[in-house]
Structure 1
Amino acid sequence: MTPDPDLLSNVRSERVRAVRSLGRRAVRQRQGRFVVEGPQGVRELLRYAPGSARDVYLTPAAADRYAELVSLAGEAGVPVRACTDQVLAAMSDTPHPQGVLAVASPVDVPLGEALAAATDGAGFVVVLTNVRDPGNAGTVIRGADAFGASAVLVSDASVDVYNPKVVRSTVGSLFHLPLVLGVPVPDLLQACRVHGLRLLAADGGGGTMLPDADLTAPHAWVLGNEAWGLPEEVLDQCDDVVAVPIVRAESLNLAMAATVCLHASSAAR
């Protein structure tokens, strides 16, 4: 059998090394590119942010299994490149890739644009301050998407949202709602206040229990670092400090607490 000349098979090629290098933050920032792995993430990229997609890579088996991705890429004019399992693995950040990977350009938007949508009706946003764990950040973005948040605002001291682990843990939600990145915490809080959002700090030591919090007006959930929570200077700037009632456990981790709070906001709407 004659080898397919269009099949990417050299794991040491410049293209493969270039995609693999996007696992490093400095390279992502310099190139203005990031990697989306897995069929669900790539599907949502092509459905909701096709203008951001630059290339789609699939193994022959994945191309057969996920024919919809090939069609979506074709409709969006995104190049689809067939590659061997070894090449896909060399480009991937995971030990067991699913045969599908895309390269995309950033999808974040300006702060004012994101907040304009949040003040339409009883909207709410999520503010991540100094959140460092990729899994937590991605799970919060996914929860914000699931419960109808208008935007997610990520401070400059937080994890890079285009980190492959964050992107994977959002499972495509990264492309569903406005995302703001790299803004200092004081600027985020001030902008929320200017746009009429009540600032609600989620903190285990809060004086207001979640069932008693006013979630009917536009508001912003302010979430802190996994280890030390929110500093006093941030708590002092918030309109209320809200705690999730807990029966027995000592505490909830960031992603769990955020999910509970976001569900409450969704129910209040």
Structure 2
Amino acid sequence: MTERPDLLTNPRSDRVAMVKRLSGRSARRRHGQFLVEGPQGVREVVRHAPERVRDLYLTEEAADRHPEILAEARVTVRHVHLATPEVLAAMSGDAQGALAVVRTEPDVALPAGPLRLVAVLPWAADPGNLGTIVRAADAAGADAVVLGPDSTDPHNPKVVRSTAGSLFHLPVVPVEDLVATTARLRVDGLQVLAAAADGEWDVDDLADAALAPVPDVVVPDLRRPTAWLFGNEAHGLRPEERDLADAVVRVPIHGLAESLNVATAATLCLYASARAQRRAPD
């Protein structure tokens, strides 16, 4: 690509400093903006939420390597900038040549329509796990991810990177009152299942039962619309969170592993529900 006269070349400019500050939570809150780093996340926000993109930055090499991003952005994004690698590196060490400054949605809510599958995280503290669960929920076809008041900021750069763009595919809904939220989900027809290592029910057994129900045998039915509660990475679910559930379900461990990472367990539970719901009669 031929160098352009409007190429951003100064890594010490005020613009670069402002963008870099968005890696911190206080700046994100103050400005109502956050960073999307890397071609995959940038591609997804340009494709699925272009109205939220305040500024898009690409190196010339990235623009050549990912022409679809530049082509779509030229149509849907108001401010598109080409910049040198030094400028992108000064803005973010994880940009890989592509970076977007995105406006935070002020009031994210659960979808209004019928809900089939929701992930609820009362206390997700690890950014990588939170992002991976959002990505897994998206892949399983979930309607939303709900974050309790003790969860980490969903716009933390590590969370955003870990979602690989799924943050822009389904609502990630912060709530202050988990009791009221689970009550609302029940009103909407969802059962509430908690995932815990000492759960009474085995998710594999429930998946088998959903495929071949036995008359008069009552078990949690994975074919039903379901909200899954997933606990904190280190401490699991607190007693008051377990009490919100209709049943507590474990993921079996057949080998010698002491436990499963919460994101792995969440993926298995969400997919068990997704499979059972796909096979359920209309």
TM-score w.r.t. length of structure 2: 0.88
Q: 1:188, CA displacement in angstroms?
A: 2.7
Matches of 2:42 and 2:97, distance apart in 1: 11
> 1:58 deviation in Å?
0.6
Question: Given the alignment of the two structures, is residue 199 of structure 1 paired with residue 192 of structure 2, yes or no?
Answer: yes
Percent identical across equivalent pairs? 50
Write out aligned runs for 1:208-219 (5 A): 208-211=201-204, 212=206, 213-219=220-226
Q: CA–CA distance in 1 between the matches of 2:41 and 2:107?
A: 19
Q: CA deviation at 1:236?
A: 1.2
Task: Please give the residue correspondences for 1:63-102 in structure 2 after superposition, counting only pairs within 5 Å.
Answer: 63-94=63-94, 97-102=95-100
Decide whether the 8 Å contact of 2:46 with 2:77 is kept in 1: no
CA distance change for structure 1 residues 108 and 155 in 2, over 3 Å: closer, same or farther? farther
For residue 235 of structure 1, what is the aligned residue in structure 2?
A: 242
Provide structure 2 residue ranges, at least 5 long, that are not aligned to the other structure. Answer: 207-219, 278-282
Q: CA RMSD in A?
A: 1.7
Does residue 174 of structure 2 align to residue 181 of structure 1? Answer: yes
1:256 and 2:264 matched? yes
Deviation at residue 185 of structure 1 after TM alignment: 2.7
SS in 2 for 1:19: helix
Say which SS state the counterpart of residue 197 (structure 2) adopts.
coil
The answer to whether residue 141 in structure 2 is matched with residue 143 in structure 1 is: no
Moved over 6 A (4+): none
Secondary structure of the residue aligned to 1:23 is coil
Tell me the alpha carbon deviations over residues 94-126 of structure 1, each in whole angstroms, 9 at most, x when there is no partner: 3xx310001111247543x42x33x34xx1100
- Specify the SS of the correspondent of 2:265: helix
* CA contact 2:175–2:181 (8 Å) conserved in 1: no
Q: Is the contact between residue 151 and residue 179 of structure 1 (CA under 8 Å) also seen in structure 2?
A: yes
AA matched with 1:65: R
**For 1:67 and 1:90, how far apart are their aligned partners in 2?**
23
Q: Which runs of 5+ in 1 are unaligned?
A: none
2:9 is aligned with what amino acid? S
Structure 2: how far apart are the matches of 1:127 and 1:177?
13
The 10-residue stretch of structure 1 (176-185 or 140-149) with the greater mean CA deviation from structure 2? 176-185
* 3-state SS of paired residue (1:217): coil
SS of residue matched to 2:22: helix
Matched residue of 1:183: which SS? Answer: coil
Bigger Rg, structure 1 or 2: 2
Residue identity in the other structure for 2:17: R
Task: Kindly indicate whether the alpha-carbon contact (under 8 Å) linking 1:93 and 1:164 is maintained by their aligned counterparts in 2.
Answer: no
Distance 2:3 2:242 in 1: 63
TM-score (norm 1): 0.92
Count of residues in correspondence between the two structures: 261
